[in-house]
Chain A
């Protein structure tokens, strides 16, 4: 399924003050793939996600998106390249309604495809339709995650970045969300790059995966390969099944 390279991250180093969070990370995402980045707390997964969006900015290395260098672009310009994100902590607009939240997602095209896309989001997440006029902050965690992904989809992205979509959710909801991601990838060919601590679910879903330890990518391979890898199993999978 590997098409042309969509997102190419080469030798990226990111610092928080003087502390180096990423030590030269190489990751690439091809068109039509689901790529998972797994790793423990503090490995730098979310930092990489935020670095793609230029906040914080990479101090060394290069990030290209469909051939354009986006390393130094301002965050909103990067978003306008059609990279959408469901950020860590979901970051929905709590006092705005579900509809208003989705509307904000469609800001890029000034609501041109709004009606059409809203229907698509509701088909994907019927739960959101029931909550249409409810304020974002009053939704459950799972619904907020759906709203966050839905809002990102409203921007008609070429690449969807998901930061820990399963965080703090019940297993059934996690399954719903992972199914939705698979569905999007299969039917619409959407390219997805997701960061996960839930290594098992993520690797099962993913075409390819990367393992990150202390700001370095230590392993990569297809989802199946990584799932079968004894080191990965020992560090991220067996420990998870108490």
Chain B
């Protein structure tokens, strides 16, 4: 709603005056645009006749919101942006990054470790269930998946659209072996990882010669094949009904989280019964798995194989002429990425206690890919932030009950999840085309190049 105003009048008018004027214009334009879209709706009545429903209230809300938004932007947003710009221009010496930015990773990890404790202190054990499970565990699962996929896409540059297949392999590996053979989670976690890695190699072989779009199509098909096998191989996977009664994770075999077991945690420790202990335990478990993924990724980048991945992403022919075996390099990238997907999958199965092919649709692959791209390919911190925003954001939509007051009792904010997801992606891609943290973001400016170069030297010496 860009309203152009002649510059002479701008000089005289204060931002607030200008804001009033522009808010009025914006409101008028919104009214004109939406009067037919929102103000009137066609509907069918009981005798199948077409009737017009009038929604003037909703139209008024939209128009007022537009006007108020424009007012706030012109009156306060724009001047603030300009001030910030002027300040930046005044101090080109780019002062050393602040304390928070310098210690971002340490602070982030500390916050994650303290999160359940703080939540329990604030809302008690029972109230903490939702916050630890829906927010904490859910987000961390996606962080782990995205970090795993980051190895394949961000480091090795192999566009994999079927990553959820490895997640499914890990989940079903734990679900089947756990329910049929009663093996413990601690044995099956590495087993599930290995199995997923095996399937990563199986996928890797046929697609060795493919790159870019062609690779994307084949991996997409691979993801669907795994899902269809899970649906149709009823004898083993129980089809779309899924597998239930998957055993819980034990506290390293010492304590159990099943109320009926003799070594149930509250009996052992002599505390009140609560389902929250298990959730908090799972939270720390997935947090440690995430940190393991990050640690391995960071270490691998400094080893020959990690460097070969990055070089492979840049130029395959040059890699080969430098004596790098691109076949094994690609296969290790697929296998390593798949392994972390498998870990996350077996954790997912243990947490849900139930798996079905429904959880492993293409949309999941797309969401994980979106997180990697939004966060900035190759950047662990950026990806974690993207997962927090994307998954946390959609979870928070469930909490926005007050919107029902505005949009009527039928309004379910969750349904707008994908719309918001899409909008967020478009906005991020416009402002930060390389994701939240594009550590390899090229800069044409001389003053910023030094900062970028600094971080590069560190990598280069590895």
> Interface on A for B, CB 8 Å cutoff?
53, 55, 74-76, 79-80, 84-85, 87, 91-100, 103-105, 107-108, 110-111, 132-135, 137-138, 151, 155
Q: How far is the CB of B207 from chain A (nearest CB, A)?
A: 18
Query: Do B320 and A55 touch across chains, with their CB atoms under 8 A apart?
Result: yes
Interface stretch among B47-55, B310-318, B336-344, B395-403? B310-318
Chain A to chain B contacts (Cβ below 8 Å), 5 pairs: A85-B321, A87-B317, A97-B453, A99-B461, A133-B456
Task: Tell me which of B320, B326, B440, B442 has the highest count of chain A C-beta atoms within 10 A of its own C-beta.
Answer: B320
Interface of A is mostly: mixed
User: In the assembled complex, which residues on chain A have CB atoms less than 8 Å from the CB atom of B320?
Assistant: 53, 55, 75-76, 79
Question: A104-B307, A107-B307, A134-B453 are known contacts. Are A97 and B460 too (CB-CB below 8 A)?
Answer: yes
Q: How far is the CB of A138 from chain B (nearest CB, A)?
A: 7
User: In the assembled complex, which residues on chain A have CB atoms less than 8 Å from the CB atom of B457?
Assistant: 97, 99, 132-133
Instruction: Report B405-462 residues with CB < 8 Å from chain A CB.
Output: 440, 442, 449, 453-454, 456-457, 459-462
Instruction: Name the one of B311, B321, B323, B449 contacting A96, with C-beta atoms under 8 angstroms.
Output: B311
User: In the assembled complex, which residues on chain A have CB atoms less than 8 Å from the CB atom of B304?
Assistant: 107, 110-111
Residue B324 at the chain A interface, CB threshold 8 Å:
yes
Query: Do B317 and A92 touch across chains, with their CB atoms under 8 A apart?
Result: no
- Extra contacts besides A96-B310, A97-B453 (10): CB < 8 Å: A74-B325, A76-B320, A76-B323, A93-B310, A93-B318, A100-B460, A104-B324, A107-B323, A135-B440, A151-B322
Q: How far is the CB of B142 from chain A (nearest CB, A)?
A: 26
Residue B308 at the chain A interface, CB threshold 8 Å:
yes
Query: Do A91 and B318 touch across chains, with their CB atoms under 8 A apart?
Result: yes
Once bound together, how far apart are the Cα atoms of A87 and B319, in whole Å? 11
Residue of A nearest to B313 (CB): A95
User: In the assembled complex, which residues on chain B have CB atoms less than 8 Å from the CB atom of A53?
Assistant: 320-321
Q: What are the 3 closest A-B residue pairs judged by CB atoms, nearest first?
A: A99-B460, A79-B323, A133-B453
Q: How far is the CB of A171 from chain B (nearest CB, A)?
A: 27
User: In the assembled complex, which residues on chain B have CB atoms less than 8 Å from the CB atom of A105?
Assistant: 322
User: In the assembled complex, which residues on chain A have CB atoms less than 8 Å from the CB atom of B311?
Assistant: 93, 96, 104
Residue of B nearest to A99 (CB): B460
- Number of B residues near A (Cβ < 8 Å) is 29
Once bound together, how far apart are the Cα atoms of A133 and B453, in whole Å? 5
Q: Mark B132-158, 1 if CB is under 8 A from A, else 0.
A: 000000000000000000000000000
User: In the assembled complex, which residues on chain A have CB atoms less than 8 Å from the CB atom of B461?
Assistant: 99
Query: Do B324 and A76 touch across chains, with their CB atoms under 8 A apart?
Result: yes
Query: Do A104 and B456 touch across chains, with their CB atoms under 8 A apart?
Result: no
Query: Do B321 and A97 touch across chains, with their CB atoms under 8 A apart?
Result: no
Query: Do B321 and A108 touch across chains, with their CB atoms under 8 A apart?
Result: no
Question: A99-B457, A133-B457 are known contacts. Are A87 and B326 too (CB-CB below 8 A)?
Answer: no
A-B contact count (CB 8 A): 95
Query: Do A133 and B460 touch across chains, with their CB atoms under 8 A apart?
Result: yes
Q: How far is the CB of B442 from chain A (nearest CB, A)?
A: 7
Query: Do B314 and A94 touch across chains, with their CB atoms under 8 A apart?
Result: yes
Q: How far is the CB of A229 from chain B (nearest CB, A)?
A: 33
Residue of A nearest to B310 (CB): A96
Task: Tell me which of B317, B442, B449, B457 has the highest count of chain A C-beta atoms within 10 A of its own C-beta.
Answer: B317
User: In the assembled complex, which residues on chain B have CB atoms less than 8 Å from the CB atom of A92?
Assistant: 315, 318
Once bound together, how far apart are the Cα atoms of A97 and B311, in whole Å? 11
Q: How far is the CB of B311 from chain A (nearest CB, A)?
A: 5
Query: Do B314 and A93 touch across chains, with their CB atoms under 8 A apart?
Result: yes
Query: Do B454 and A133 touch across chains, with their CB atoms under 8 A apart?
Result: yes
Query: Do A91 and B307 touch across chains, with their CB atoms under 8 A apart?
Result: no
Residue of A nearest to B444 (CB): A138
User: In the assembled complex, which residues on chain A have CB atoms less than 8 Å from the CB atom of B319?
Assistant: 104
Question: A76-B326, A95-B440 are known contacts. Are A103 and B307 too (CB-CB below 8 A)?
Answer: yes
Query: Do B321 and A87 touch across chains, with their CB atoms under 8 A apart?
Result: yes
Residue of A nearest to B449 (CB): A134
User: In the assembled complex, which residues on chain A have CB atoms less than 8 Å from the CB atom of B456?
Assistant: 97, 99-100, 133, 135
User: In the assembled complex, which residues on chain B have CB atoms less than 8 Å from the CB atom of A87?
Assistant: 317-318, 321
Q: How far is the CB of B211 from chain A (nearest CB, A)?
A: 15
Query: Do A55 and B317 touch across chains, with their CB atoms under 8 A apart?
Result: yes
User: In the assembled complex, which residues on chain B have CB atoms less than 8 Å from the CB atom of A137?
Assistant: 442
User: In the assembled complex, which residues on chain A have CB atoms less than 8 Å from the CB atom of B449?
Assistant: 134
Once bound together, how far apart are the Cα atoms of A107 and B318, in whole Å? 12
User: In the assembled complex, which residues on chain B have CB atoms less than 8 Å from the CB atom of A85?
Assistant: 321
Once bound together, how far apart are the Cα atoms of A92 and B453, in whole Å? 18
Q: How far is the CB of B318 from chain A (nearest CB, A)?
A: 4
Question: A96-B314, A97-B456 are known contacts. Are A75 and B307 too (CB-CB below 8 A)?
Answer: no
User: In the assembled complex, which residues on chain A have CB atoms less than 8 Å from the CB atom of B310?
Assistant: 93, 96, 100
Question: A100-B459, A133-B460, A134-B453 are known contacts. Are A107 and B314 too (CB-CB below 8 A)?
Answer: no
User: In the assembled complex, which residues on chain A have CB atoms less than 8 Å from the CB atom of B323?
Assistant: 76, 79-80, 107-108, 155
User: In the assembled complex, which residues on chain B have CB atoms less than 8 Å from the CB atom of A103?
Assistant: 307, 460, 462
